[in-house]
Amino acid sequence: MIRRYFFLLLLLASSQSFAQHVIKGKITDAETGDPIPFASIILKGTTTGVNSDFEGNYNLEAKKLSDSITVSYLGYISASKALQNQPEQTVNFQLKPSDFEMEAFVFEAGENPAFEIIRQAVERKEYFDKRNLSSYESKNYTKIEIDVDHVSDDFSHRRSVQKITAILDSIKQLTNDEGQKILPVFFSETLSKFYYRNNPVLRKEVVEKSRITGVGITDGSTTSQITGSAFQEYNFYKNWLTIVEKDFVSPIADGWKAYYDYDLLDSVLVGADSCYVLQVYPRREQDLAFTGTIWINKETYALKQVDLAIPKEANLNFIERIKIQQELVPTEAGPLIPSKSRVQIKIGQITPKTAGLLAKFYTSADSIRTGEPKPTSFFNQAVTLELDYASGDDEFWKINRQDPLSEEELAVLQMVDTLKRIPIVRFFSEGLKFFGTGYLNVGKFEVGPWPGFFNYNDIEGVRLGMGARTSVKFSNKWELEGYGAYGFQDEEFKYTAKVKRILDRFHWTTLSLSTQKEIDQVGLEISNLQGNSVFLAASRFGTLRRPFLNTNYNFQFQREFFKGFLFTSNLHVRQFDPLFDFYFLEKDTREYESNFETTEVQASLRYGKDEIIIINDNARTSFGPSKWPIVQLSYAKGIKWLGGDIAYSKLDFYLYQRLNVGMLGVSRYELFAGKVFGEVPYPILNNHLGNETLFYTSAAFNTMNFNEFASDQYASLRYRHYFEGFLLNRIPVIKKLKWRAVANANILYGSVSDKNITNTPNVDPLGNHLETFGRLDPSKPYVELGYGVENIFKFFRIDFFHRITYLDNPGAKPFAVKISGQLIL
């Protein structure tokens, strides 16, 4: 019995000698409250330490305690805290960002050892790039938070802001470590299934559940399509990553040595993998490149983790910081999939009297599977919503979200719900939407557009107008639209009426019928300038160029047969009534005619291989292509036996593409070619768009006069290049201003057949001179070259254009200066 107790005491003493102390806690960013993954935690004066996980949590076990524990991470100020002599304790840290500047490293002999690691990682990219998978799918969870921060004193003392803060004082206030209040304005959570297939490259996200709360958010269907993981994809195995519409070079890009320097910092164990830890930083501080840390597997040279940021010195507007943290896991087939990604975008104060903005995005993926790809028809719509996507309550999200919300995030939800109900907030948010979209939401209807409320020109004098359309709250199958205006000088009433029926939202299929009576201008038709609002508005005020009263009826059918392939057909009847001196010779009788009617049947095919389309309420919205061009082919035929006065045919071809040309920047080009068959009045020809306004537009030839040239066969190339700071970043004084060089080249070939030249007389029946149209020499192109600077005071752009050919034309301007304004990052 004594021996048994003696053995028990010995066992207890032995276990006590091996007893461990456990210290756990969380490392967060003092400014944003977000976790800091991969931070180094070490007991002071020992070699005992661990790294925090992706959520910033750590758990350190030690046989013996020291007096304090220290946390450090690149880009942050290290911190230490005292420890208690306890077997288990919790110690949290809030680290403050530091203005980190990498010192120059000098290697006495041989190559930088980090270079060989990067070289091996680049050579093995094809084994680990997820784009090499034939297909994969995953279940994703995404959350987005947008906060107002860095509120200036002038901003916070405004009467309207004080009304808001007075109401919010009853709620737990969110602050950063410096005591500055953070005001959340948006929070969303999304559960979805993500699908990918290769050859062809297609992606699809099915949003199963989505919860959105935010200031100014009145309908969640559109927002739910863009808050999922489909728009939060960051693949560092690509040479270039597109973030906020800018292209940033990856640290393991093929041309890595031209953009980056590296330092081998350490060798650590991450999970079960031994990894190299490398610091990366741009060779030129203003290049669109990353700085931070990457972890590369010692055995396979695969990326394990990244923690990268865009430095403040990068040539970006308003953005103080972009930070991307990512954790990657291998699939069964070998290539890597990001299992967790966190992105922070911090936008500074536009003026000292305003506030800043902080956007935080988090995505996690699990249940990753590879296998047989889905059929291409499955990917017809890039983002779809389940019928009950908005039905999840608090309990559902508590059970189903992959990662629990922190106390701060729960407070964010409560604050946003309260904030969006404050009357003055609703007033300002609705006002901002009204200004941006042109329409004011009133129940199931939208009133607008506001640019059409007032106008003044030499034909109508003062013009007043008003319009309205139904919203998706009225119906997701029917859309009604109407607009009316009255000119007090011409005493004419103008109108637009339209009804659209949506037959199929998956294979986007619609029928629409519309009628319109409106004043238009030859070569400046409203239908061709809808995407150039400033230029359109400038051309509609003052003196109108060759105006005519356009009365038309249009019946349209549209269907997307498979992803990216859109078919559109129209039956279009138009009455042309000139409000200027115009005549043409009727084909058969050769009598003078001044007005005409056309009945036109049109069909067009449009294909965008990787174009991202979402259904925005009752309309399709394109986010543009990422790599491949958009191609469109159109054919139209004017038919006399359906009531038209003129028989003709039109064939048009259009090609658009965005090109990433590496360190040189980004290019965009548009190729347009066509031909008009038959004898027609010149308003039916292609009246090439000139620009006599002060404002720059990419849709026009900026040194060409209005109505200077028309063609019945034509081909044009518009090339625009954005250097993104490539040239001006190297000039010491200019680079501080963050100006960016731009360049343009516009070329046009065209001609007019003899029958369409003789069709338009130079004099009217009374012998008075008539303005007709100019013609291009088929062997001599119209050429203009331009160069300029954008991002002046972060808003203005100025372009200088030189007209190279046709300098002898009456009124030709060999040189033109155009200005424009744009909010770009």
Tens-place pLDDT, residues 5-55: 444 444 344 444 444 788 888 888 877 777 888 888 888 888 788 888 888
Q: Which residues contact 284 (CB under 8 A, 6 or more apart)?
A: 729, 730
**What's the CATH code, domain 505-821?**
2.40.160.50
Structure tokens at 353: 């009297």
Nearest-5° angle of CA 140, CA 146, CA 152? Answer: 165
- pLDDT for residue 182: 67
207 CB burial (10 A radius; 0-12, 13-18, 19+): buried
- pLDDT for residue 101: 47
Report which of residues 611 and 807 the model is more confident about.
807
Which range of 88-102, 206-220, 657-671 scores highest in mean pLDDT? It is: 657-671
- pLDDT for residue 374: 87
- pLDDT digit string, tens, across residues 787-811: 998 888 777 889 999 999 999 998 8
Report which of residues 543 and 425 the model is more confident about.
543
Identify the weakest region by mean pLDDT among 127-131, 622-626, 644-648, 704-708.
Answer: 622-626
Identify the weakest region by mean pLDDT among 516-525, 528-537, 689-698.
Answer: 528-537
Identify the weakest region by mean pLDDT among 99-113, 268-282, 635-649, 749-763.
Answer: 99-113
**What's the CATH code, domain 2-95?**
2.60.40.1120
| Whether pLDDT at 575 is above 80 | yes
Average pLDDT over residues 120-125: 91
Q: For residue 684, give the nearest of 711, 653, 714, 654 by alpha carbon.
A: 711
- pLDDT for residue 269: 80
Q: Return the percent helix, strand and coil in the chain, to nearest 5.
A: 15, 45, 40
Percent of all residues in the chain with a pLDDT value above 70, rounded to a whole number: 85
- pLDDT digit string, tens, across residues 451-482: 888 889 999 999 999 999 998 888 889 999 99
Nearest-5° angle of CA 22, CA 23, CA 27? Answer: 150
- pLDDT for residue 713: 95
Which range of 28-37, 311-320, 663-672 scores highest in mean pLDDT? It is: 663-672
Q: How do the domains of the chain map onto residue ranges?
A: 2-95, 135-233+353-435, 438-494, 505-821
- Say what the pTM is: 0.72
- pLDDT for residue 151: 58
- pLDDT for residue 3: 46
CA distance 89 to 82: 11
pLDDT tier at 659 (50, 70, 90 boundaries)? Answer: confident
pLDDT tier at 436 (50, 70, 90 boundaries)? Answer: low
* DSSP notation for 361-390: EEEEEEEEEE-SPPPGGGGSSSEEE-TTTT
- The average confidence (pLDDT) of the chain is 82
